[in-house]
Amino acid sequence: MRTITYRDAVREALREEMIRDPRVFLIGEEIGLYGGAYAVTRGMLDEFGPERIWDTPISEGAIAGAAAGAAVAGTRPVAEIMYMDFLTLCMDQLVNQAAKMRYMFGGHASVPMVVRTQGGGGKENAAQHSQSLEAWFVHVPGLRVVMPSTAYDAKGLLKSAIRSDDPVIFVEHKLLYNSKCEVPEEEYTIPLGKADVKRMGSDVTLVSYSRMTEFALSAAEKLSEEGIDVEVIDPRTLSPLDVPTMVESVRKTGRVVICHEACKAGGFGAEIATQIMENAFDYLDAPIVRIAAKDIPIPNVRVLEDMMIPQENDIAAGVRQCLSG
């Protein structure tokens, strides 16, 4: 099978869905002529023209709000917000408007929109271009939150997100765009709400998503040399969250480590941990361990940034701690 990059996988999903459905259009900063700040939409303006690829002013509130308005008015916009940090500039539009229209209006309105953005650190981009703010959006009923870790998952999940009648926050990772994996040429989709067991194991369940899944898998390989057999589960979508797949794993391993790149306090790991407590407490043989970023703004210089964001060694240490508990 061919291998393609995460970037190309996202672009393929966009192209295929735009060809499939004339109601799908893209709106965002620098997505046309420039081809996207991370080159995801390169070439799409030439292919689809300016009535389907809308290059906007720097105006995140209007991008998100216009996407919500266009969605409720019968189209299927895919908005790009250049950095996840910039979602702070469209919180009313996403949280008070898009997320709530279906419910507030008694089910008569659908808001089939996707907000594509990219988050995460590791590029010395400092505190306003590196955050992982997914927990905020999981906390808003009405929104879906997707955070793929591979090219294969990104393509299949983005296609489902675009076809969904709900507003979806689709979070890519800036350091995954060049990662490659096998992606079939044939059409496929991945349903929202299905976790993926990225590595089978029997000693401990390691839950991670987005770029941390790469670290989790490499940590698992290292740990296997010590005789520790790690199962790595990537929920892929945080809302809806596939709890049964995690519970099934915990029933086998009895031990859980959760890893994410977001700050620990109020982070999504707390939700995962509590779901496991509520649904699999009797199977736990040790306290759940959380590996997360430190609760500080993200520093710029790499020597500090690497201390702030979990690394492979931190994950391995967390697994050993869990096994000694």
Partner 1 sequence: MKNTEKIGLLRQMILMREFDERAGRWYAEERMAGSTHLYVGQEAVAAGVCAHLCRDDYITSTHRGHGHCIAKGGDLKPMVAELFGRSTGYCKGKGGSMHIADIRFGHLGANGIVGGGMTIATGAALASRVKNTNQVTVCFFGDGAVNLGPFHESLNMAGLWSLPVVYVCENNLYGMSTHHAKAASVKKIAHRAASYNMPGHTMNGMDVSAVYNVAGRAIRRARKGNGPSLLVMDTYRYYGHSRTDPCSYRTKEEVAEWKSRDPIQKFKAKLIADGLLDERTFGEMVAEANRQIDEAEDFAEKSPYPTREDLETDVYCDDLLEMQ
Q: Which is nearer to partner 1, 194 or 264 (CB)?
A: 194
- From 13-21, 38-46, 161-169, 219-227, span contacting partner 1 (CB under 8 A): 161-169
Contacting residue, 4, 13, 44, 66, with partner 1 by CB under 8 A: 66
Query: Least distance to partner 1 from the beta carbon of 210, Å?
Result: 21
Angstrom distance (rounded) from CA 31 to CA 305: 29
Tokens 């976790």 -> residue: 195
CA dihedral 322, 263, 164, 34 (to 10 degrees): -130
Q: Check binding of 72 to partner 1 (CB under 8 A).
A: yes
The residues carrying an active-site annotation are 60, 129
Query: Quick one: three-class SS letters along 107-154?
Result: CCCCCCCEEEEEECCCCCCCCCCCCCCHHHHHCCCCCEEECCCCHHHH
Task: Sheet with 53-55: list strands edge to edge.
Answer: 53-55, 24-28, 76-81, 114-119, 168-173, 144-146, 237-239
Contacting residue, 20, 47, 105, 187, with partner 1 by CB under 8 A: 105
Tokens of 154: 């990104």
Q: Which is nearer to partner 1, 96 or 128 (CB)?
A: 96
Closest alpha carbon to 152 in 175, 185, 118:
185
Angle of helix 268-280 versus helix 243-253 axis, rounded to 10: 60
Q: Which is nearer to partner 1, 145 or 217 (CB)?
A: 145
Q: Check binding of 97 to partner 1 (CB under 8 A).
A: yes
38 to 57: interface string for partner 1, x by CB under 8 A:
-------------xx-x-xx
Angstrom distance (rounded) from CA 207 to CA 8: 26
Q: Check binding of 165 to partner 1 (CB under 8 A).
A: yes
Which amino acid, residue 311?
A: Q
Q: Check binding of 191 to partner 1 (CB under 8 A).
A: yes
Q: Check binding of 104 to partner 1 (CB under 8 A).
A: yes
Q: Which is nearer to partner 1, 143 or 176 (CB)?
A: 143
| Total residues in contact with partner 1, by rule CB under 8 A | 52
Contacting residue, 108, 186, 227, 282, with partner 1 by CB under 8 A: 108
Q: Check binding of 148 to partner 1 (CB under 8 A).
A: no
Query: Can you say whether residue 244 is alpha, beta or left, with left for phi > 0 and alpha for psi between -120 and 50 degrees?
Result: alpha
Q: Check binding of 59 to partner 1 (CB under 8 A).
A: yes
Contacts to partner 1 by CB under 8 A = 23, 25, 27, 51-52, 54, 56-57, 59, 61-62, 64-75, 77, 92-93, 96-97, 101-110, 141-142, 144, 160, 163-166, 189, 191-194, 240
